[in-house]
Structure formats: C-alpha cells, structure tokens
Amino acid sequence: MKEHGKSSHKKNSKSCNSENLLEYIIKGLSASKKTSHKNETIISSIIKETSKSNMKLNEKCLINTLNIDKQDIDQSIFKEKTSSNSPAILEERKDDEYLKDKLIKLIKESFRTRGHYPQTTLDFYRLVKMIGKGAFGKVFLGVHLLTGKYVAVKSIEKKYIKEESSQKRIFQEVYILKKINHQNVIRLLEVFENKRYLFLVLEYAPKGDLLKYVKKKTRLEEDVAKEIFAQIVSGLRHCHRNLILHRDVKLDNVLLDKNNKVKICDFGVSRFVKKGQTIKEQCGTPAYIAPEIIKDKGYEGCYADIWSLGVLLYAIVTGSVPFKADNIEDLHKVILKGKYIIPNYVSESCKDLIRKMLQLNPYNRISIEAIGSHSWFDKGPEFGRRESMYDGQIRNSIFDGEHRRTHSMDKNCKKNTIAEVEPASVIRILEPILQKVEGFGYSREFVIQSINSNSCNHASVSYYLLYEEFQGEKC
C-alpha cells in the first residue's frame, strides 16, 4: 500500500510541476501548518494562493497529490467564493436584492388583487450548484431569495415518475416529511412544481453524509460516535413513536448540518404502520438489511430499523460493516447466520449495545427506547446537556406550546440519558422574525396562521429560515 502511494505521488508531482501548481500546494501546506493540518485549511490556502496569482486550480492534481476529496475542494471553493467581495459576488448579491424586491412586489400585489399569496415558483430561489443525485433527480444548493438563506432543492423530473410505484414513493416521502418535526430529521420546507419538475425544498445540511465523514476519519472515536449516534437514535425514535418506519437506515442517509448536527434524510422507502402490523415489502440496503426481511415471511418494521441501526453503530466505531460477502446471495447467508466479529479496540459497553441490536430474533432486540438508556451512554462527555436529546413533536402540535414528557426523569441517574427529556414547543412566534416576514409582503395574521397550522408555504419557509438563524445566533 505504502509503495503504491509513494510512486503515485511522484508521478502526480511531476504533472503538477508542469502546471506550476506544486509551488502553490507547498505554499498552501506551509501556510496551513501554522494553524492546523485539516484538509479544509490546506485547500483554502491553496485556493487563495491560486486565485491571487490568477492560476487555474487543477482539481485532479489536488485530489491525487494530497488525497483530497473532490467534495472538500468544491466546498472550499464555494466558501472562498461566497465570503469574498469579488466584483462577481457583489454583482450576484445585487441581482439577488433586485429579485427579492420583485418578489416582494409580486406577493403584495397578489394579496391586494386576489387576497391570496402567489404560488411558489423557481423565481423564489436561485440555484447555485448541484450537490447530489438521488433516485429520481438532482439535488441543488439553492438560495432562498427573500431571506438569502441556503436550502437544498430536490428536483424530480416528472417523466421519471410515471409509474404508480415511483409516484407512491415520492408522495409518501413528502407526506412523511411534512408530518415529522424533529431537529435530527431533515426538514421539508415546501413543495412546488412546474411543467417538467416537482421541487422539494429541504433545509440544507452542508457537511455531507456520515459515510463520507466516517471514511475521512477511518472510524470514529467512541466519544464522537456517541454524540452522533445519540442524535440518530433520537430522530429515529421520534419516527417510531409516530408510527413511521424509515426502512433504509444507513450512513449515507445521515447528513450533517453546519454545526455537525445530525439530520436523517431519504424517506423514499419509509411508511406508516399500525402498532404490531406485519409487513412484507422487501426494502433497504443489502449490508444493513435485517434477517427477517431476507426470510420474507413478514416482519414488524421497527425491529428491522433497529437491526440497521446496529449495523450503523458497528460501521461508525469500526469503519466497516459487520456482514460482508462478494455477492448478495452469500451476504444473505452471512446475515442469516448472524455471526460477526467486533474488533478488540471497541469498548465492552459499545460491543454490548451492538450485540443487543444485532439479535437474529427481532423480538430479542433492544427497543429504541432502551437504546437511549444503555450504559454505553453513561460516560459520554457533556452528554446530559446535549441538545440532541430533545425530541421534537409531530408537526400537528408543534406550535401549541405544550410540553410533553413521555419518559420520566430517572432520579437516581446523575446524567440524563437520551430517553429522558422531551422538549417544549419547537418553533415560537418571535416578534423580530414576524416583522421581517411581514416585510416580505405577508400580513402578520397570515404568517401566524401559517405557522400555527403548520403549512408548507412561502411565508412559513421564510419564517423558519430566519428562526433557524436566530436560534444559531443564540447558541
């Protein structure tokens, strides 16, 4: 491995030299040494150096020479571009301001002449760049023009969803996301369409998915793993409490926001169930799939989600999955045997939790509620104060100011566990934000009513994006 790495480095250095880039890389590297060795710092130094000298950045060269991820480069270029005061950026901001003024006029006019808000169109957003590809279309980074905040815009080409099953999958995802209100589940802000596309506007999670995050670090230290896993459990537990199964829990479907807060995403194969209902559909990702799904004799979905959660925990603390094979048939055999090895460096309490989730018999598996009180979490630093332990509420009741406590606080337990705390209402009506949204042309009553009735319209999107910023500032 080492030899191979060495020789490829030499080859790439040569090609970089020919484009004068190595010099910039070295400059970037030495600049970064003063601060840290993180990729981000290295790339950002290189980008600064290259742009100062009007050099074209050779991305391929950077990726090969420094073993840097393409997404990291994109992210850094984007950060550098958007933080600079270059004429192009200033021009872009001026354009956005102009478009925002136009939108405000349109909203006011619509209320005045029709007594109703205008339908959302792509004019309400500026699409900046593509950030991902899903089963039915592309995901773009977008700017919400009224607030200037970033969002993720999922575009689904209608011609690809002609089949009833695809339509069902998308409508189910929209319906479920509209229902869920939890800080560890990606938030659906609004849905609109034009002739060709259906657009889902989601809160933006800029730090990518957990798969990439774990890959970068090879595996996560248990303290970090606890921090992240607790949030995943919290989000999934909220879904289960509201009879929603995710059915594709895996590293790729966990995104991280700018504060490294977990956001579970991709509810494309999720569904509602009745308590104790047995289902038969086969879905999920091979390495994460539960044995009872493979057996194909019907299963209770919440136990299958716990199995996948066990695979996920194994994957974050070891950097690998517990069940592997060269083909699906063999993989199924390995899963059905339920035999796997947990490396010695994993703590005993973490091993115990993994084993309790990866029980072949679904009814012997630890419940989602019990995971939160498992001893692995006892020694987590700051664990008791983590925000991630606070659940949201299903969206119907989020603005009613009620406090729920479905699990009582264990008086004997010094630290809180993730099963203990339920939050106050998630979104409050705040005067300064209300005034800002009023400034976009919506009446005060309309904004309050949109929030209270949990509508997915443009006024509530504006309110939510500003509210998130306000919450961030407070932290």
The alpha helices in 19-158, defined as continuous H runs, are 21-33, 39-52, 59-66, 70-83, 87-114
Active-site residue list: 248
Our finding on whether 283 is near ligand AMP (CB under 6 A) is no
Interface residue with ligand AMP among 46, 57, 205, 256 (CB under 6 A) is 205
Strands 244-245 and 271-272: antiparallel
> What burial class does residue 270 get, using C-beta atoms within 10 Å of its C-beta: 0-12 exposed, 13-18 middle, 19+ buried?
buried
The token pair at 422 is: 């339920």
Least separation in angstroms between CB 12 and ligand AMP: 27
* Site size with ligand AMP, rule: CB under 6 A: 16
Strands 197-203 and 244-245: unpaired
Our finding on whether 290 is near ligand AMP (CB under 6 A) is no
Least separation in angstroms between CB 105 and ligand AMP: 30
| Location of structure tokens 């959660």 | 309
Q: What angle do CA 47, 153, 450 make, to 5 degrees?
A: 130
Please identify, using beta-carbon distances, which residue of 135 and 328 lies nearer to ligand AMP.
Answer: 135
Q: What angle do CA 285, 286, 289 make, to 5 degrees?
A: 80
Near ligand AMP in 141-180, by CB under 6 A: 152, 154
Our finding on whether 269 is near ligand AMP (CB under 6 A) is no
Phi-psi map region of 208: left, alpha, beta (phi>0 left; psi -120 to 50 alpha): left
Least separation in angstroms between CB 203 and ligand AMP: 6
> What burial class does residue 433 get, using C-beta atoms within 10 Å of its C-beta: 0-12 exposed, 13-18 middle, 19+ buried?
buried
Please identify, using beta-carbon distances, which residue of 201 and 427 lies nearer to ligand AMP.
Answer: 201
Nearest of 420, 433, 413 to residue 473 by alpha carbon: 433
Our finding on whether 421 is near ligand AMP (CB under 6 A) is no
Least separation in angstroms between CB 473 and ligand AMP: 21
Interface residue with ligand AMP among 49, 209, 222, 292 (CB under 6 A) is 209
The alpha helices in 358-443, defined as continuous H runs, are 368-371, 431-438
Please identify, using beta-carbon distances, which residue of 28 and 208 lies nearer to ligand AMP.
Answer: 208
Our finding on whether 186 is near ligand AMP (CB under 6 A) is yes
Interface residue with ligand AMP among 24, 117, 140, 204 (CB under 6 A) is 204
Q: What angle do CA 291, 283, 287 make, to 5 degrees?
A: 55
Please identify, using beta-carbon distances, which residue of 12 and 75 lies nearer to ligand AMP.
Answer: 75
Least separation in angstroms between CB 204 and ligand AMP: 5
Please identify, using beta-carbon distances, which residue of 108 and 207 lies nearer to ligand AMP.
Answer: 207
Near ligand AMP in 396-415, by CB under 6 A: none
CA distance 110 to 63: 50
What character string, x for contact with ligand AMP (CB under 6 A) and - otherwise, covers 104-143? ---------------------------xxxx----x----
The token pair at 302 is: 């919440």
Interface residue with ligand AMP among 255, 313, 398, 421 (CB under 6 A) is 255
CA distance 316 to 312: 6
Please identify, using beta-carbon distances, which residue of 180 and 265 lies nearer to ligand AMP.
Answer: 265
> What burial class does residue 382 get, using C-beta atoms within 10 Å of its C-beta: 0-12 exposed, 13-18 middle, 19+ buried?
exposed
Least separation in angstroms between CB 268 and ligand AMP: 7
Note the residues at the interface with ligand AMP (CB under 6 A).
131-134, 139, 152, 154, 186, 202-205, 209, 255, 265-266
